[in-house]
Chains A and B, each alone.
Chain A
C-alpha cells in the first residue's frame, strides 16, 4: 500500500490533542482537512493579489482574474471536461444541484414528466428534485437499493424505459453505503433514451479518478471542502450543448452582455451562471488543493483509500453486534464505513469515541430514506482520506471494542 504518512505533516490541524488523546479525524466524508499548501495559497492571495475579477484593468485585478480563470482550466482538466467553459463555480454540491433543479428543470420539465432518482441520494440531491417536481408538476421515481447496498439496475433500466423520463440523477459514490455506482453504464442507458443526466460526485472527486466525458453525464457536481479546498466553493460541470440551452439563474453583475432599462442580454456559460462577485479566494484555494492532490497522484490516493477501508472492514468484523451497511468486502467502495452497533445508538457511540480523541459522525448522514430502507434510525460513520493511517483504523476498532463493554 502506498505510504502517505509523511503527508500528515502537511496538515497542521491533525497535530493536536482532543480529550487528552491525539486527534484521530475520521470524518472526511463530511469535510476534509486542509494542507498548509492550501492555507498558504489563501494567505498569499489575500496578501498579494486580492482584487475583484473580470472588472479592473489594474495590476491586481489582472492577477486575480488570471489566477481565477487558470483554476477553471485546471478543474476542467482534473475532471476530464472538454472545455473550461463547462466549469461553473458554485458554493458546493448542494448549490450545483439546485442550479440545475431550478434552471434546467423549470425550462424543460412539463407536467407528467418523470425524474428518476435513487434510494441512496444525499438530501441535497433529493430535496431539490422534489421541489422542482412540485413546481413543474413532474413526478420523482426512485430506483430501489438492494440489500448489499447496490442499486437495483434492472429496476433502473425498467424505470428509464417507462417513458416520460426527462432526467436521471444518481450519486457516484454513496456517502452512507460507500457504494460506487456504475455511472458510466447508467448514463449510457439514459443517453440512448435521450434522458439528461446529473451525477453527484461529492464523495468521488479527489478520491478516485473522475472523467466526466468517460462517464458521459450531462451534469456533474462536487464540493471543494471535501477535497482539501476551503468551504464555500464547488463545481458544476455542464456539457456545453446542455448549458447553451439553459436560461440564466441569478441576475446580476458578470452574467450580462448588455443591460438597458428595457431588458438585458446575457453572456454564455460559464459567466451566465455566475452572477456577482464569486468566491475568488475559494477558487484559488481549490486550485491549490487540486495541485496538492495531483502532486500525490489521484491513483495513489485511491489505492491508499481502498487498502485502508478493506483492511478496516475486516477488523470491524471482530466487534460484537456490529453491522456495516453497504457492499461487503472485497467489493470496491468509497473509503468510508457506516455501521450500527447493537448495544449503542450512534449518538452514544460518537460521544464515547469523542472522549478518546476520535472524530466520527453519527446520525442519518443526510440520507434518511436510506436509513429507513435498512431499518436503522442512523449509523456511526468512519471515513478516511489520504492522511489517515492503519494505526488510526486499529485504534478505531480498539475503541469500538471498549464501547461495547461500556454500553452492554
Chain B
C-alpha cells in the first residue's frame, strides 16, 4: 500500500466506513422526556440532528440521530449513539470530554476503554479540517442532554 493510502486508511478505518454506510440508531424520538438539538457546520452545510430520551435519573434511555454528512460525521454520530445509550449524565459528559480530547489531541483521554470503537476516530487528529465533522453530532447531543438535565432539575 502506498504511504498516502496508509494515511487514508488511518482516517477511514473499516469501522468508520462500516458505520458511515450503515449508520445505527437513525431516526427520531417523540415524547415527554425527549430532547432534541441540531448541529450545523456552516463550512460545508452538513447538519445532524440528535434526539435523546432521558430516564428518571437523567440517564440516556434512548438516542437517535438524523442528518447528512461526510463519512466522518456520520460514523461519529452512529458510534456516539451506541456509546451514549444507557449512560448516566455524568458518564455521558465524561465520554464527551474524552471524545473531544481524542479527536483534537488537545488533552489526554481519561478513559480510553470507555471510548471503545470510537478510538477509530483518533486519525482525525492529523486532519484538523475534519475535527468539526467528527464533533458535529456530539455538540448536538451535549445540547440535548443539557436540556434534559435542566428539565430534570426543574421538575
Contact = CB atoms under 8 A, between A and B. Distances in A.
Contacts of B7: 355
B12 to A, nearest CB: 7
Contacts of A344: 71
A347 B130 contact: yes
Interface residues of A, number: 21
B12 A378 contact: no
Given A362-B44, A363-B43, A347 B133 contact: yes
Contact of B44 (A21, A352, A364, A407): A364
Contact of B71 (A20, A368, A371, A407): A407
Nearest to B7: A355
B4 to A, nearest CB: 4
Contacts, number: 56
B11 interface: yes
Contact of B4 (A20, A345, A346, A368): A20
B4 A377 contact: no
A222 B136 CA distance: 35
B122 interface: no
A347 B130 CA distance: 9
Interface residues of B, number: 23
Contacts of B56: none
Given A377-B45, A378-B45, A347 B70 contact: yes
The A interface, classified by DSSP as helix, strand, loop or mixed, is mixed
Nearest to A365: B45
Interface of B: 2-5, 7-8, 11-12, 17, 43-47, 68-72, 74, 127, 130, 133
Interface of A: 19-21, 344-348, 351-352, 355-356, 362-364, 368, 371, 377-378, 406-407
Q: Which 5 A-B pairs have the closest CB atoms?
A: A345-B70, A355-B4, A347-B70, A364-B45, A363-B44
Given A348-B12, A364-B44, 6 more contacts: A20-B4, A345-B68, A345-B74, A347-B130, A363-B44, A378-B44
